[in-house]
A and B are shown apart, each in its own frame.
Chain A
Amino acid sequence: MINQGVEPAGPGPVSPEQAKAQDNRVLGFWIFLSGECAFFASLIGTYLSLNTHTAGATTLVSLIDLPLTGLMTLSLLTSSLTMVFAFLAMNRGELQAMKVWLWVTALLGAVFLDLQIFEFSHYMASGFTMGTSAAASAFFALVGFHGLHVAFGLFWIISLLSYSFKDGITAANTSKVWIAGLYWHFVDVVWVIIFTVVYLLPKVH
């Protein structure tokens, strides 16, 4: 049920042990993601408990540039869409199309990271750093860890692309692409929460 969409597209004999391994990979990844939920829940809890502890120093809300973070949100959400296109291509067995969509996804992820680096350096130049206050520390920890997750996703997608798919799309590599995609969507969902909690609500209030 949970691995709908992973259809062994390619030919080639698959031993029962190998089929089990594909199955395990998808199940194990869902389990890993529930651990990730606890990880981000702890960071978000930390942020919510400290975000008013500004120690009289520069506050985040005075620096937030909603159009910039809106653009970041847009690029990440679009990258989830392109990841879906990569899946669809994979399920149709279209190797080239899948690779192209994966590259587009990676590119959008890189745009997000680039904007985030720009955002962070802007904050730091304005006197809002890890050492400014507890609230600032909590901001950089939460948003920074999310950024690291995006960076790891990028590393992962590019690792997969550098792997030549020499036998075309097979049962073995479908599940590899599938879990990378799952990870990417998860990181995207976490960003939606961060965008709402960290940027949108404080700015709107």
Chain B
Amino acid sequence: MAAIAERVGAQPKAHAQGYLMSWLTTADHKRIGIMYLLASTLFFVVGGLEALMIRIQLSHPGNTFVSPTLYDQLFTMHGTTMIFLAVMPLFIGFINCIVPLQIGARDVAFPRMNALSLWLFVLGGILLNSSWFLGGAPNAGWFNYAPISLTPFNPGPGIDFYDIGLQLAGIGTLMTGINFIATIINMRAPGMSLMRMPLFTWTTFVTSVLILFAFPPFTVNLFLLMFDRLMGANFFNIAKGGNVLLWQHLFWIFGHPEVYILILPAFGIISEVIATFSRKTLFGYDSMVLATIAIGFLAFTVWVHHMFVDGFGPYVNSLFAITTMAIAVPTGVKIFNWIFTMWGGKIKFTTAMLFATGFIPLFVIGGISGVMLAMAPADFQYNDSYFVVAHLHYVLIGGSLMGVLAGAYYWFPKITGRLLNETLGKWHFWLLMIGFNVTFFPMHFLGLLGMPRRVATYSAALGPAVAFWNLVSTIGAFILAISFLFFFYNLFKTLRSGERAGPDPWDGRALEWAISSPAPVYNFAQTPLIRGRDAWWVEKTEGDGRLRAAEAESADGQHHGIHMPSGSIYPFLIALGLMIAGYGAIFGLLLLVAIGLVLAFFSIHRMIVAEDPGEIVEPVGGDGE
């Protein structure tokens, strides 16, 4: 982290309160983005180790590597961690680092709320994972269905850790959504009209809208479960008139948009990377934007496809099957646009481009199994089998994670100033492609052969084919894990002695490549004037290769400092207070709840009344140096 910090722009002098404090109080979107990336990478490793334990357990029929009790916790924490604490915040990390640069902004709309989002995510994630040491991890799946999640069936604290940990992280995510909607609407540089925005900014915008409307139902759901478990309420208690389907509805009204929150930013990254390394403008930009919006809208109309076997009858199931299949249309538009962007382009297969092109076939496989699952009558067969596990990993690893990695190789030089090693990167890519397909393709067969999900083991009586494909899958998982050793070694090596990246190592198209790597603390010395789509490319090909300033130098010819928001410790303290209160609620310690809430509300009060005087930062040199 030290190595990154040195190059991410020194903080102004007023911030010389020490190294740790400068990170705890920072409101700089670039540093917040780096912390998002670091924390979610750590959670990703934890979730990956959980996956390896699951695969070891399933390598042989009747294996006893882990107990069924532990197995339940492992698959629950694997899913929960990967979705909420790894992939989504990895995207949020890139969004933080890159989107303000792409629209020519100095920072996000609410820099200190951005810090609060980060700390709620980090501390919520730590709280959730601390359950391993404090009475057992949650064990009712990432979807945490009632009634398994209710006290009579699950008396330990695990579910409360799930409930309160995700509540904290979820509120942070909600604030990220609000922040980036406001940022993209209000902070664009002059000339950056909506239809000139890079695709990654567009997908961030639609993702943020999905967050805004999908997370509140989840927040409510988590509250209802908390009331049932901790305060004797009866929302899901059938004996007192409760309804367990209520949880499922509220969960999937959130849950399906959530999977698009996990894929739309990847679509954005793939669009940027493919256009850059094909040296062509994105094919069908308008239809890409429209498809993104259409997917965002349809996301809210399909949730019952997760509940086909609940017995709503053929009319309801048909309706939701049709809306689900309809999503294949805008998604198909995107796939064709990427292919046509490459068509006739001068393609350069850097590691980032390899991941972007690898994304396409893998995501198409996931999309095809998705349409198969969308057929309600067929879903009765696939439901709760390994076929679904194969599908979701093809879209979440083959889709989302490939997007993350394409983004990682593409933007690493912009974020740190150093280029990742391409040779190691190619080892990473090819090992990942092999390991991933060897792990997950056999799961299609396993599902069709009748192997159920979420069961700690399987009987040898299921036949030699089931045992064989499970062993293959486990071997694949280890190849996948080894591919990430190459990645982590690459990160480590590059940060220590990697090749320096100039401002524009890829001959990029969007605005982030117009400024130095890493970006200076104020991003743009002068607010740029945007003169077309692919804003930086336009300046390189039609202009003089420099950004134009939106306003002329001030009349007196003096160089004025740049007003930047100042940092604050209160976002961290608010999150810390809520975390303490969360522990209090889990263990029924009212005093702890009170202490936590007092700390949180004192800090909120300070945030409400505080004036932000800001800081004046002197720009150094010109852009592009």
Contacts and interface: CB of A to CB of B under 8 A. Distances in A.
Nearest to A25: B110
A60 to B, nearest CB: 13
B67 interface: no
Contacts of A16: 563
A163 B246 CA distance: 44
Interface stretch (A62-70, A112-120, A137-145): A137-145
A82 to B, nearest CB: 20
Interface string A163-181: 1000000001000100000
A53 B246 contact: no
B342 interface: no
Most buried by A among B110, B239, B241, B562: B241
A38 B220 CA distance: 10
A54 B234 CA distance: 10
A20 interface: yes
Given A20-B186, A27-B185, A134-B234, A39 B242 contact: no
B349 interface: no
Contacts of B233: 130-131, 137, 140-141
Interface stretch (B15-23, B85-93, B174-182): B174-182
Nearest to A57: B240
A180 B352 CA distance: 46
A145 B223 CA distance: 10
Interface string A34-45: 111011011100
B481 to A, nearest CB: 38
B219 interface: yes
B224 A156 contact: no
Interface stretch (B263-271, B391-399, B405-413, B603-611): B603-611
Contact of A24 (B186, B215, B224, B239): B186
A55 B213 contact: no
Contacts of B332: none
Given A55-B241, A141-B223, A34 B212 contact: yes
Nearest to B111: A21
Contact of B220 (A28, A42, A160): A42
A181 to B, nearest CB: 14
A38 B216 contact: yes
Contact of B242 (A17, A32, A43, A53): A53
B227 interface: yes
A55 B241 CA distance: 5
A35 B216 contact: yes
B235 interface: yes
B234 to A, nearest CB: 5
Contacts of A140: 233
Contacts of A49: 243, 246
B601 interface: yes
Given A35-B174, A38-B217, A24 B250 contact: no
B178 A53 contact: no
Contacts of A42: 216-217, 220-221, 250, 253
B347 interface: no
Interface string A139-164: 01100010000000001100110110
Nearest to B551: A16
A73 interface: no
A80 interface: no
A20 B237 contact: no
Given A28-B110, A50-B243, A55-B239, A160 B609 contact: yes
Contacts of A72: none
Given A17-B106, A36-B216, A28 B179 contact: yes
A10 B239 CA distance: 61
B234 A133 contact: yes
A31 B523 CA distance: 26
Contact of B232 (A18, A131, A134): A131
A55 B240 contact: yes
Interface string B203-231: 00000000011011101110110011001
A130 B229 CA distance: 12
A186 B146 CA distance: 32
A55 B556 CA distance: 78
Contacts of B216: 35-36, 38-39, 41-42
A31 B182 contact: yes
A108 interface: no
B529 interface: no
A7 interface: no
B612 interface: yes
Nearest to B242: A134
A130 B209 CA distance: 34
Given A53-B241, A133-B240, A134-B234, A38 B212 contact: yes
Given A35-B215, A38-B212, A159 B563 contact: no
B135 interface: no
Interface string B489-504: 0000000000000000
Given A20-B186, A39-B219, A130 B213 contact: no
Contacts of B227: 130, 137, 141
A25 B231 CA distance: 36
A4 interface: no
A134 B609 contact: no
B614 interface: yes
A18 B231 CA distance: 45
B178 to A, nearest CB: 5
B235 A31 contact: no
Most buried by A among B224, B250, B608: B608
B614 A137 contact: no
B109 interface: yes
Interface in B584-612: 601, 605, 608-609, 611-612
20 contacts: A20-B187, A23-B186, A27-B182, A31-B178, A35-B174, A42-B250, A46-B220, A46-B250, A49-B243, A50-B241, A55-B239, A130-B232, A132-B234, A134-B237, A134-B243, A135-B241, A137-B227, A137-B235, A141-B223, A176-B608
Given A42-B253, A46-B235, A46-B246, 7 more contacts: A28-B179, A35-B213, A39-B220, A53-B242, A55-B239, A131-B234, A162-B609
Interface of B: 106, 109-110, 113, 174, 177-179, 181-182, 185-187, 212-213, 215-217, 219-221, 223-224, 227-228, 231-235, 237, 239-243, 246, 250, 253, 562-565, 601, 605, 608-609, 611-612, 614
Top 9 A-B pairs, shortest CB-CB distance: A53-B241, A134-B241, A137-B233, A38-B216, A163-B609, A39-B216, A55-B241, A42-B220, A24-B109
